[in-house]
């Protein structure tokens, strides 16, 4: 079976207007892909950028391991979440993480 692209394979790093990294996540971030996302994200967070913005507009699903990865990132730098899909937004709001992780409306 051919390897399907995971969230990590489609992770993009672009600077925002202030030069902080914007990381786009796509597909599903779950226990089968979160380690790859974490590895791809490590060099970004290791530079201590002050803030990392996650663009979630193409993220269809996130489980507890994905939420844990976002929280671990927030322990190291400021995190902003933007453009979540409706299901991801609902999950972040229900869990109370929308305020902790600075969910932009």
* Range with the poorest average pLDDT among 4-13, 37-46, 58-67, 91-100: 4-13
The pLDDT assigned to 6 comes to 58
CATH number of 12-100: 3.30.750.24
The pLDDT assigned to 1 comes to 38
**pLDDT of 4 over the 90 cut:** no
DSSP 33-93: THHHHHHHHHHHHHT--SEEEEEEEEEEEE-HHHHHHHHHHHHHSEEEEES--HHHHHHHH
What would the mean pLDDT of 64-91 be, rounded to a whole number?
Answer: 95
> The whole model's pTM is what?
0.86
What would the mean pLDDT of 25-53 be, rounded to a whole number?
Answer: 91
What would the mean pLDDT of 46-70 be, rounded to a whole number?
Answer: 93
Residue 84 neighbours by CB under 8 Å, 6+ apart: 56, 57, 59, 92, 103
The pLDDT assigned to 55 comes to 93
Domain boundaries, the chain: 12-100
């Amino acid at each position: 079976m051919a390897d399907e692209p995971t969230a990590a394979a489609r992770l993009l790093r672009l600077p925002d207007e202030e030069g902080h990294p914007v990381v786009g996540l796509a597909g599903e971030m779950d226990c089968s892909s979160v380690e790859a996302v974490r590895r791809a994200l490590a060099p970004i967070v290791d530079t201590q950028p002050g803030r990392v913005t996650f663009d979630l507009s193409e993220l269809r699903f996130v489980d507890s391991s994905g939420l844990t990865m976002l929280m671990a990132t927030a322990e190291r730098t400021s995190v902003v979440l933007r453009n979540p899909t409706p299901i991801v937004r609902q999950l972040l709001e229900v869990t109370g993480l929308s305020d902790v992780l600075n969910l932009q409306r």
